[in-house]
């Protein structure tokens, strides 16, 4: 299947590249080039990025910090990543808009559904920052929520693994990869795809999730062009 409008979910850790913290400019540049290839095909693309390369609210809470305060810090971390990706995309000549769930009007637009859709229709890449704007919700949930709101055909979860396996392929060499799997089977087998809130929201709204390796050059373009890349979770 070819896609007209997609939402790409990237983890903050993905932006670290080989670093232990922060943002790897080479990884950022690679992602920007991949995204440009997709938009050149006329595919509408929105992006949600995590903030784990800078700060994790859950980690802060486990060290005694107030959870709400920690999550707000995590939201700001996603905005930093959003600004970095926006800059990298614009260096490649891609028109972008950064919209945030928490107002930072000097740097980004507030999230408005109709504005976001209009930007996409005009060929701009829309980056959604600050998660859902609420503590206790992950950027996975934000990604699914925004994908549903903008009527995306699918949510693409870019990871460092090339799909969903029966076990962690980095630890178990005998793990078997699924090309396709149903939402029900993911739950039955206890596989980790997204957090439960995000996963349930996706299932209820019949939004397919595709888990794929974003770090292999050309994978994103092949996937949106209809090639079998990664694992698709569907009904």
Average pLDDT over residues 132-153: 97
Could you tell me which of 57, 53, 85 has the C-alpha nearest to residue 70? 57
Average pLDDT over residues 141-150: 98
Domains of the chain: 5-234 (3.40.1160.10)
Confidence of residue 140 (pLDDT cuts 50, 70, 90): very high
Residue 98: DSSP 8-state: E
Query: Roughly what angle, to the nearest 10 degrees, separates helices 139-149 and 113-121?
Result: 70
Radius of gyration of the chain (CA): 17
Q: Is the pLDDT of residue 59 over 80?
A: no
């Amino acid at each position: 299947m070819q896609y007209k409008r997609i939402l790409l979910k990237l983890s903050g850790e993905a932006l670290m590249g080989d670093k232990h913290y922060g943002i790897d400019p080479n990884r950022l540049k690679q992602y920007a080039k991949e995204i440009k290839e997709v938009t050149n095909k006329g595919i509408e693309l929105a992006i949600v990025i995590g903030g784990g390369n800078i700060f994790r609210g859950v980690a802060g809470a486990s060290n005694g910090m107030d959870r709400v305060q920690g999550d707000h810090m995590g939201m700001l971390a996603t905005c930093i990543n959003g600004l970095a990706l926006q800059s990298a995309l614009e260096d490649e000549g891609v028109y972008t808009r950064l919209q945030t769930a928490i107002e930072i009007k000097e740097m980004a637009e507030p999230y408005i559904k109709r504005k976001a859709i209009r930007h996409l229709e005009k060929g701009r890449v829309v980056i959604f920052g600050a998660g859902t704007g609420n503590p206790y919700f992950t950027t996975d949930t934000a990604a699914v929520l925004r994908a549903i709101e903008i009527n995306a055909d699918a949510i693409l979860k870019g990871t460092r693994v090339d799909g969903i396996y029966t076990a962690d392929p980095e630890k178990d060499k005998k793990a078997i990869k699924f090309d396709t799997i149903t939402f029900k089977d993911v739950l039955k087998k206890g596989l980790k795809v997204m957090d439960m809130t995000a996963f349930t929201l996706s299932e209820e709204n019949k939004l397919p999730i595709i888990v794929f390796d974003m770090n292999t050059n050309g994978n994103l373009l092949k996937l949106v062009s209809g090639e079998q890349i990664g694992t698709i979770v569907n009904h």
